[in-house]
């Protein structure tokens, strides 16, 4: 094989590899978003509502803050929220042992992207 043909072959292989990697990343992201939305639906909506405003029966009883307006005490990165959820906060239950790390990270990512105010 000439140098040039070899280079072309290597380039083609690299391109294919990069495209595959990109697709895999995109797919993993949508999977995480889906999981986050599912966990939020099951575990969080009852207090915080679909829109994060907390205008539900349980939300009012527990005085759940409006997540779209109020500052978050422990910070608004998904890492910080995952930690808050793991440990609980005030009347919010703790999810350590109730949700897997994967579920915690996914739901934290979801809540931050949907509700957190731009900082
Ligand atoms: C039983 C009701 C209830 C449930 C269920 C609940 N929360 Fe909360 N949440 C609260 C209350 C009450 C607060 C305010 C706690 C405080 O500041 O004392 C709160 C606070 C928060 C905050 C602000 C945190 C901060 O640092 O100030 C976020 C974000 C949040 N919840 C997200 C979630 C997510 C995501 C879920 C689901 C995994 C969830 N909550 C489930 C009642 C609930």
Atom of ligand 1 nearest to the CA of 108: 35
Cα separation, 52 vs 44, whole angstroms:
9
**Roughly what angle, to the nearest 10 degrees, separates helices 101-115 and 78-87?**
120
- Give the closest residue to 44 by CA, choosing from 111, 109, 101: 111
What's the pLDDT tens digit per position in 19-63? 999 999 999 889 999 999 999 999 999 999 999 999 999 999 999
Q: Which atom of ligand 1 is found nearest the CA of 80? A: 26
> What pLDDT was estimated at residue 41?
98
The Cα 119–Cα 116 span in angstroms is 8
Domains of the chain: residue spans and CATH: 3-115 (1.10.760.10)
């Amino acid at each position: 094989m000439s140098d040039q043909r070899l280079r072309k072959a290597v380039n083609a292989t690299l391109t294919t590899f990069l495209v595959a990697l990109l697709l895999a990343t995109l797919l993993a992201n949508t999977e995480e978003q889906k999981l986050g939305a599912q966990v939020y639906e099951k575990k969080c909506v009852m207090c915080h509502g679909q829109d994060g405003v907390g205008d539900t029966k349980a939300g009012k009883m527990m005085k759940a803050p409006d997540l779209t307006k109020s500052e978050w005490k422990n910070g608004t990165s998904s890492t910080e929220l995952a930690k808050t959820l793991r440990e609980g906060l005030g009347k919010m239950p703790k999810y350590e042992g109730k949700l897997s790390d994967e579920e915690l990270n996914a739901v934290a990512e979801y809540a931050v992207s949907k509700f957190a105010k731009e900082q």
